[in-house]
Chain A
């Protein structure tokens, strides 16, 4: 009973953390890009102000359709729940019951939902943006599949909590295959988050926001929030597995468990900020790909998790 209550508390903590930190991470991203561009940039909480403004605006939709009206709520609610499944050692949220495939494909479900919406809307820009998004998802599928299978094969589990714990053990962590799979996780989070140069689907100067074009007010606000949560969850995968897990395994000898969970959470947040800073620097250095130009790097990138998978299979 106590364990169940504790898990419930962690679920609530993780959901609140996700809801709070996702816009903050976006604020950090905007601030760092501004610094690189030699601007002052908006305050760290600007994304909150933007969301608050959107939630207070009257939404205008192209036509009344239950699917379109309900979709932003579904997307937001799904990702809010999913943020409690962030795999962190000693922080048992939904990660104890979720596995990697469920997590990644639920994330993908939200992307597909957005694509379907964009295709359903009577707007050629939405249609074009959604088509690009669909093409990117399809091409990137290979990368995601290799990464999941590679990690599952190396760690012998797909359970998220199990992964969070096992990834940090030196016998797993110091393998060459893990090096490739870790790199794959960072790449996966970056590309799947649609940071520049992979923001073809929403490209504002080309397709005016693509699938999101016809959404306004709270509907767009919910989609935006959902997108930020998706980015946070994706970012949490490499951060927790590659960076937090080994540290947690080292600290467990020195810090007792209830306190260790809090420390792990603190380290997780710290690394989230550091990783997002690195991502923001990379993002500021490149223009956007054209969708056909992006295919080559996306396919070539699949070589990295494939090598990780093969090495894991060979036992390296």
Chain B
């Protein structure tokens, strides 16, 4: 296994690290440019990508965030791949871009070296038809098994209404990678008690011990980015981005608008920054309490489940008081926020926070003093630090393995630079450590909400945004409850985006679950899988498929409206 983080740079500043990286990559890249303050793109031939990523991953506190594929044939007759590496201690993202001509879409895989590339490469293979030489797992990731190998829906010339195949011909079976004929196979999902969303785990067990595990997800993959690209305007996208997830939707909307604001060089008003932080922290508490409840339920502790969700009701009510909605606040627009937090509601919000803190403290004490709960989670599902780095895990899962990363602090955005908070870090890497990180974070978020309510500045809510400059690119990042949520946006012509890539935290956190499961018991599998707080709605984004014809299409606004009216009439 490749050793990472051999060169310590976490104490160095951004400029210093940029010059070290320049020297390190000297001769491997052809040119570079900095589209935004925190993003530098290096252009390199495909033969050098593997070496560049290896060298970048040698620096401490770096991780492969996402690989963005793009069909740039309208600009330069090529496809591109951009490997975005985060330098967490320097507030810096380094993108390494290579171009692949249409007639030669092959590049060496890096998934054997950096596990974070595993899903990214499979996704780009599905959607653009880029072949990764050396990629062992060549199953489809986001597309179903029956999808034709020559149909790549992310290509710009792929028509929306192209029939995929005749479903009546019969669907090919799912082909598992594992071949363990001497072992029992236990399928966990797609429909299982612990799955709120469909995902399939194939567990190979000997007695109750898990020997191997295999994942098949994306049953609900919906391709939401395709809807946005070329069809929606910049200010319509935040609303569909917020609908990516029913739990952390605001992080997606914020991440997207930050990317657009970054590429257009827009500074938003202070009040808008604070309101964004406020809503993000409310969302974090809501999400963590939801997870705590589910974790308790999985472990058969329904009292913890019910009490946690009862407290969650208070935070949902607080969101409703402040925004008018319990979830999906619809607050974010490019340039600021749409609605104000009214002054007379702030007192209520403070009272609410006090009440939540009091009740949460009781729950916290009950959970951490419960000996069986601790025994069920201690030493279970351990993810070693080196594997965590390789998989590029983020959020509480990373912080439980001793990786001191938090986007709020490391790539500061909204109002976080002016607020004071601690980042809980544990080193054990087991389910207990992940749980403790989340438990501690709720207290930090409550503190942050109080700070924001006390320091909420006056002034306008948004700046007037004119046209967004064409052919610019940027990344927007938010520390979602599950970790770094990164949105890559490239602006296109006619005030529309050319490419939008959403990499939700669960996309980084689900792949290592396989490693976390092996060696543990069947009874531990549900809590190990749940420990990463998998959010499949975020990981899979949507598309409409006609079951009868096999064709796929994007529903227009009018069609959706008509369908909704029809349903409402039927309900009466």
Which residues of A pack against B, CB within 8 Å?
A: 33, 36-39, 124-125, 127-128, 131-132, 196-197, 199-200, 203-208, 284-293
A124 to B439, CA, bound (A): 34
Establish whether residues A288 and B302, one from each chain, have CB atoms under 8 Å apart when the complex forms. Answer: no
Interface string of B510-524 (1 = CB under 8 A from A): 000000000001111
What does DSSP make chain B's interface, helix, strand, loop or mixed? helix
Q: What are 29 sample pairs from A and B whose C-beta atoms fall under 8 A apart? A: A33-B303, A37-B303, A37-B306, A37-B307, A38-B310, A125-B186, A128-B208, A128-B522, A131-B207, A196-B300, A199-B300, A203-B300, A203-B523, A205-B193, A205-B194, A205-B526, A206-B522, A208-B192, A284-B302, A285-B303, A285-B370, A287-B370, A287-B372, A287-B376, A288-B299, A289-B372, A290-B376, A290-B523, A292-B521
Q: Which of B186, B301, B305, B521 contacts A288 (CB 8 A)?
A: B301
CA distance A207 to B307 in the complex (A): 24
Interface residue ranges of B288-321 to A (CB < 8 Å): 296-307, 310
CA distance in complex: A196, B304 (Å): 14
**How many whole Å from A93's CB to the nearest CB in chain B?**
35
Is B199 an interface residue, CB under 8 A from the partner?
no
Chain B positions within 8 Å of A285 at CB level: 303, 370
> Whole-angstrom distance from the CB of B518 to the nearest CB of chain A?
17
Whether A287 touches B523, Cβ cut-off 8 Å, given contacts A124-B185, A125-B186, is: no
Tell me whether B267 is interfacial, beta carbon within 8 Å.
no
Residues of A within 8 A of B351 (CB): none
Cα distance A287–B193 when bound, in Å?
A: 17
Contact partners of A287 in chain B: CB under 8 A: 296, 299-301, 304, 370, 372-373, 376
Among B205, B304, B306, B372, chain A packs the most CB atoms within 10 A around the CB of: B372
The yes or no answer to B375 lying at the interface (CB within 8 A) is yes
Considering only residues 351-393 of chain B, those with a C-beta below 8 Å from chain A are 370, 372-373, 375-376
Q: Which residues of A are found within 8 Å of B376, using beta-carbon distances?
A: 287-290, 293
Q: Which of B296, B375, B523 contacts A206 (CB 8 A)?
A: B523
Q: Considering only CB atoms and an 8 Å cut-off, how many residues of chain B contact the other chain? A: 34
The complex places the Cα of A33 from the Cα of B523 at a distance, in Å, of 24
B184 within 8 A of A: yes
Most buried by A among B192, B302, B304, B307: B302
Cross-chain contact B307 with A205 (CB below 8 angstroms): no
Contact A200 B523 (CB under 8 A): yes
**B residues apposed to A, CB below 8 Å:** 184-187, 192-194, 205, 207-208, 296-307, 310, 370, 372-373, 375-376, 521-526
CA distance A203 to B305 in the complex (A): 16
B372 contacts A128, C-beta separation under 8 Å: no
Residues of A within 8 A of B296 (CB): 287
* Chain A residue, CB-CB nearest to B294: A205
A291 touches B306 (CB 8 A): no
The answer to whether B193 and A204 touch across the interface, beta carbons within 8 angstroms, is: yes
Expressed in whole angstroms, the Cα–Cα distance for A272 and B273 within the complex equals 60
Further pairs besides A131-B207, A206-B522: 8, Cβ < 8 Å: A127-B184, A205-B193, A205-B297, A208-B193, A287-B300, A287-B373, A288-B300, A291-B523
Closest chain A CB from B546 CB (angstroms): 31
A290 to B528, CA, bound (A): 13
| B370 CB contacts on chain A under 8 angstroms | 285-287
Shortest distance from the beta carbon of A289 to any chain B beta carbon, whole Å: 6
Indicate if the CB atoms of B186 and A33 lie closer than 8 Å.
no
In angstroms, Cα B526 to Cα A171, docked, is: 52
Contact, CB under 8 Å: B184 / A124: yes
Interface core residue of B208, B305, B310 (most chain A CB under 10 Å): B208
* Residues of chain A with a CB closer than 8 A to B307's CB: 37-38
A206, B192: Cα distance in complex, Å: 9
Whether A33 lies near B302 (C-beta < 8 A) is yes
Partner of A205, one of B184, B300, B310: B300
A200 to B300, CA, bound (A): 9
Q: Are A128 and B193 touching (Cβ within 8 A)?
A: no
A39: contacting residue among B186, B207, B304, B306, CB under 8 A: B306
Q: Nearest B residue to A39 by beta-carbon distance?
A: B306
CB distance from B310 to the nearest CB of A (A): 6
